[in-house]
Structure 1
Amino acid sequence: MIDRLAKEVDMLERHLQVLKMVIESEPIGIVKMSNETGYPHHKVRYSLRVLEEENLIEPSSQGAITTEDTADFVEDLDGEIEEIMEKLEAMKIDSVPEAAE
């Protein structure tokens, strides 16, 4: 159960890293992103597809570029991550009762 969450967090981290690269270096292509991040091309391509579906980037003839929605997303991102972290913190189980002997 926790393994799936960890994999989702890793994938989200990759998506956000790719988005950050687009913001900082637009237009930017898959090969350059793959070379700079060390992620295989297919993983960068998948992240770009997810970001495009969320309307955070769009393709251009020179590479990926941001959209008009990108700035609002980035502005709200820290608050949303903080809310998720609070939920995760509340899920912690501090102790487990000892088994009866």
Structure 2
Amino acid sequence: MIDRLEKEVDMLLRHFDVLRMVLENEPIGIVKMSNETGYAHHKVRYSLRVLEEESLIEPTSQGATTTDQARAFVAELDDNVENISDKLEGMKIGEELEAGH
């Protein structure tokens, strides 16, 4: 169960890395993103597809560019990540078990 969660988090991190690259370098193509991030081409392509399905980027003949929705998504991202982090923190039971609860 935890392995699956860790894989999902790793994939989300890759999606965010790809989105960051697009935000900072748009328009940008798969080859450049792959070279700069170290992710394989097929992984970058998959992340771009996911970001496009979420309407955060759009493909152009020069490479990927962000949409207006991407800026709004990024503006809310820190709060969303903090909320998820709080939920994960609440899942910890080791300290309670050690304290004898």
The count of residues paired between Structure 1 and Structure 2 equals 97
Aligned position for 2:86: 86
**Aligned equivalents of 1:96 and 1:75: distance in 2?**
38
Q: Percent identity?
A: 70
> Considering only aligned residues, what root-mean-square deviation do their CA atoms show, in Å?
0.9
Residue 63 of structure 1, CA deviation: 0.2
Residue 96 of structure 1, CA deviation: 3.5
Aligned position for 2:4: 4
Aligned position for 1:34: 34
Letter in 1 for 2:16: L
Q: How does 1:2-81 map to 2 (within 5 A)?
A: 2-81=2-81
Q: Indicate the SS of the match to 2:10.
A: helix
Letter in 2 for 1:65: T
Residue 4 of structure 1, CA deviation: 0.4
Letter in 2 for 1:54: E
Larger proportion of helix? 2
Unaligned runs of 5+ in 2: none
**Aligned equivalents of 1:32 and 1:84: distance in 2?**
31
Residue 73 of structure 1, CA deviation: 0.1
Q: Who wins on radius of gyration, i.e. which is larger? A: 1
Deviations 1:26-67 (A, max 9, x none): 000000000011110000000000000000000000000000
- TM-score after normalising by structure 1: 0.93
